[in-house]
A = this chain, B = another copy of it.
Amino acid sequence: MPAPASHMPPASIQPDRKPSVDTLRRLVQSDMERVNQTIVQNMHSPVALIPQLAGHIVAAGGKRLRPMLTLAAAGLCDYRGDRHIGLAACVEFIHTATLLHDDVVDESDLRRGYDTANAVWGNQASVLVGDFLFSRSFQLMVADGSLEVLRILSDASAVIAEGEVHQLMTTNDVETTEEAYLEVIRCKTAQLFAAAAEIGPVVAGRPADQQAAMATYGRDLGIAFQLVDDVLDYSAEQETLGKTVGDDFREGKATLPVILAYQRGTEAERAFWARTIGTMEQTDADLAEAQRLMAKHGTLETALERSRTYAGSARAALLTFPRNAYRDALEELIDFCVDRGY
């Protein structure tokens, strides 16, 4: 497929147009349709609950950012085969499995009336269907036959699980450091972005430096993405998008905006954070107070600055590759991820 519109200036320097994920989506559209077919075919099981529950999650699966990264990275490397289709499905299966496992709740959450897709099928079904998708992903990788891809995605899976456990241990801990927070999001979010992107040059048979460059692109994009996500959870911008604000707050997550507000806070403000995040004794007025303290100390802005630093690193990694339509779209994706925060 010839790279369309490669004579155009990159979207990111067109001042009249908000960066969007649509450029990338259009570019990989026909590939993504094949990925979706592969996903549906491989959710099949004689056990009816599996396609039912997995289909529910996959259908609700949102932007398909991670498999898009695999497809775009393959395009960036002029890959002409079919392997990126099945492997993009593997990446999405692993992501879906982690979503299902994130849905699993504890007794304490149930007491607080925590409600997810889980509520429909229960903890056990979420765990087991997640396990099935995870296993199916490895079956697909084995069918593909690349030990290098198996290494990348089994490493990523282990790191994701470590990051999730680490996050579990720092929940409610307002004294978590910024370094610990960044390590958590590097593991739980950015590692799968990195793996998804790295698979492109791997299937295209590109040398190690290009594989490393795409891994860096994916990782730093993923960190920037998660930083902005954690900002949006406290921002009015999110409300205009029709999404709930304050989910992280209600779950007592010590994200960067909270960590910085605690660090920069007065004694009284620290007591507020210790009560609301540390012991999760919250009243209806507390979220507004949390937002006021974040504004006072500029913690959302600091978190967005951090995301811009990682975005710059992701952008630099792309320069390893000659410019084509895929590189432009991957560059615009960085802007899209970061600009959501404004």
Q: List 5 additional contacts besides A47-B166, A134-B134, A139-B154; criterion CB under 8 Å.
A: A48-B169, A106-B124, A127-B127, A129-B161, A142-B147
Interface status of A244 (Cβ within 8 A of chain B): no
Interface status of A336 (Cβ within 8 A of chain B): no
A136-173 residues at the B interface, CB under 8 angstroms: 136, 138-139, 141-142, 145, 147, 150-151, 154-155, 157-158, 160-162, 164-166, 168-169
- Residues 45-66 of A, flagged 1 when their CB comes within 8 A of B and 0 if not, give 1111110000000000000000
Q: How far is the CA of A158 from the CA of B44 in the complex (A)?
A: 12
Residues of B within 8 Å of A11, CB to CB, are: none
A104 pairs with B131, CB closer than 8 A? no
B132 pairs with A165, CB closer than 8 A? yes
B124 pairs with A162, CB closer than 8 A? no
Q: How far is the CA of A101 from the CA of B134 in the complex (A)?
A: 13
Chain B proximity of A55: nearest CB distance (Å): 14
Q: How far is the CA of A160 from the CA of B131 in the complex (A)?
A: 9
B106 pairs with A164, CB closer than 8 A? no
Q: Write the chain B residue with the least CB distance to A149.
A: B142
Our pick among B110, B132, B158 for the contact of A107 (Cβ within 8 Å) is B110
Interface status of A125 (Cβ within 8 A of chain B): yes
B157 pairs with A128, CB closer than 8 A? no
Our pick among B110, B132, B165 for the contact of A110 (Cβ within 8 Å) is B110
Chain B proximity of A47: nearest CB distance (Å): 5
A93-143 residues at the B interface, CB under 8 angstroms: 98, 101, 104-108, 110, 122-125, 127-129, 131-132, 134-136, 138-139, 141-142
Chain B proximity of A22: nearest CB distance (Å): 33
Chain B proximity of A126: nearest CB distance (Å): 8
Chain B proximity of A169: nearest CB distance (Å): 6
Residues of B within 8 Å of A169, CB to CB, are: 47-49
List A residues at the B interface (Cβ < 8 Å).
Answer: 45-50, 98, 101, 104-108, 110, 122-125, 127-129, 131-132, 134-136, 138-139, 141-142, 145, 147, 150-151, 154-155, 157-158, 160-162, 164-166, 168-169
Q: Write the chain B residue with the least CB distance to A148.
A: B142
On whether A139 and B155 interact (CB within 8 A), knowing A124-B105, A127-B127, A131-B101, the answer reads: yes
B142 pairs with A158, CB closer than 8 A? no
Q: How far is the CA of A165 from the CA of B46 in the complex (A)?
A: 11
Q: How far is the CA of A128 from the CA of B106 in the complex (A)?
A: 13
Residues of B within 8 Å of A151, CB to CB, are: 139, 142
Residues of B within 8 Å of A106, CB to CB, are: 122-124
Residues of B within 8 Å of A48, CB to CB, are: 169
B142 pairs with A150, CB closer than 8 A? yes
Residues of B within 8 Å of A107, CB to CB, are: 107, 110, 122-123
B161 pairs with A128, CB closer than 8 A? yes
Residues of B within 8 Å of A158, CB to CB, are: 132, 135-136, 139
Residues of B within 8 Å of A161, CB to CB, are: 128-129, 131-132, 135
